[in-house]
Structure 1
Amino acid sequence: MSETQFGKVCVALALIGLLSACSSPHSPQESRYELDQDKGPERAVDLSHVPDAVPRVEPRTRAGNKNPYTVLGKTYYLIEDETNYKERGTASWYGKKFHGHNTSNGEVYDMYAMTAAHKTLPIPSYVRVTHLDNGRSVVVRVNDRGPFHAGRIIDLSYAAAQRLGITQTGTGPVEVEIVIPGDTPPPPLRPLDRPATESDGIYLQVGAFSSAASAKALRDKVAKATGARVFVSEFLAAKALYRVRIGPLADEQAVNRVKALLPKAGIYSSHTVQ
């Protein structure tokens, strides 16, 4: 099992102060996994035919997007505007041990699909991963958290790692770059009901929907709970996405005051945007 996968197993243990139990391959906390060590398929399988993930606009759900979150004593803050994200570092992969188990957002991990784990990108996100030694690249959908190991910036599914040529080496040098649906820069937000005289400031996003009616319903609920100005903006891409935002808020103190009131509207996860 690579150090990356070892870190994944330790996450839950660390949260309850039992990190030392990771040293035992028969720890009760690991019992949900059938394998003690991670590996690929039993027999060689050619996954060169597996297509890249196709980027599409998807709502950012609360599942998988706790912000901030802490793992192994380190706190991570999600990237609030990923449109210019690009990073170089080391990629690793995870396979059969985690195959069939839930990812961070509750989906089922499929080692034969084009997915990945990332520490700070919103879930879901799409990125292009390019192997810096051989020039191969794939597009994967981020639906999991990790890898929690210094120097590792992304944990790839077995299929993605095989296509990049790193399943044998375990890790590889890569460049990871965000992919916007349609592979074009995102258009600006088009407000549905935001005042034309809106001033600059901090905005707090509390939800995103494919339905304008659902977005407006949440807008009204949040406005009633917080007394703040709440509006809906339409994000035009492959499919329309309606974002519910509060603002402008003058400073972080104002943001914190509003956040404290959001549970009254059933909102427990939000993020700031400029």
Structure 2
Amino acid sequence: MKSKKKRTTGKNTGSFLFFSIFALLALCYVLGCSPKTVPPPSGHSKTAAKGTFKPYTIKGKTYHPLNSSVGFEEVGYASWYGPNFHGRKTSNGEVYNMEAMTAAHKTLPMNTWVSVTNLRNDLKAVVRINDRGPFVDGRVIDLSKAAARSLGVLGPGTAKVRLVALGYKKAGTGQGNKPARYIPPASYQKGPFAVQVGAFTSESNAWRLAASLRVKWQTVQVIRFDRGDRVFFRVWVGKTTNLVQAREMQAKLREQGFHKAFAVAW
């Protein structure tokens, strides 16, 4: 009888341990113990601030947020966004206020202050980047309603502008006798940089493009990137420690027909 009782107790103990482990695993899954893939921003999105430096893909195109804004200048078209997004979360986790001097940019570091000049009327404004976008070819910045108003963009809807990155604000409001002071982040010279020419889900297609590019370009690599839900094979051309040189390569590649080529940081 002792032997039988011992076997019965052992069986009950095993069952208890099994169901206890199962319950713990289920609880761990619910609480997020398993790895998660950070979703990319979808244009004025709800992505948390900690993910704003990670590459993200919109409409099949991958964007690589810059680690620095030193020396950053850009010319292109500005647009603006207002009531439909007012009160929603921006890409850095803030609540969007269309009456604040903020803007969305595809790659500049969050909280970078940028001087924006309307090339049509020479009006200038300083805005802080707190969102991602606009994801429209040719447009380089999406202004808040307040910023668009101050630049004369509110009526036309778009305007050609020049962007100059100022850095992170350290002190001062920029108004009256309180001039704003900005701290530049780390230098672009820390590179290295390359130019992405294409991204494929088929590895053979990526290597085929790489082989054709090696006819004119010495350094061509295929970089594997696991987005979490899909694996991409990126074709990168060149390698330089200077963003200016990377953009020169970008311009040459676009002239050769690779119209969506863009500079990336390694």
Instruction: Give the TM-score, by structure 1 length.
Output: 0.46
Structure of higher CA gyration radius: 2
TM score, norm. by length of structure 2: 0.47
Higher relative CO (CA 8 A, sep ≥ 6), structure 1 or 2?
A: 1
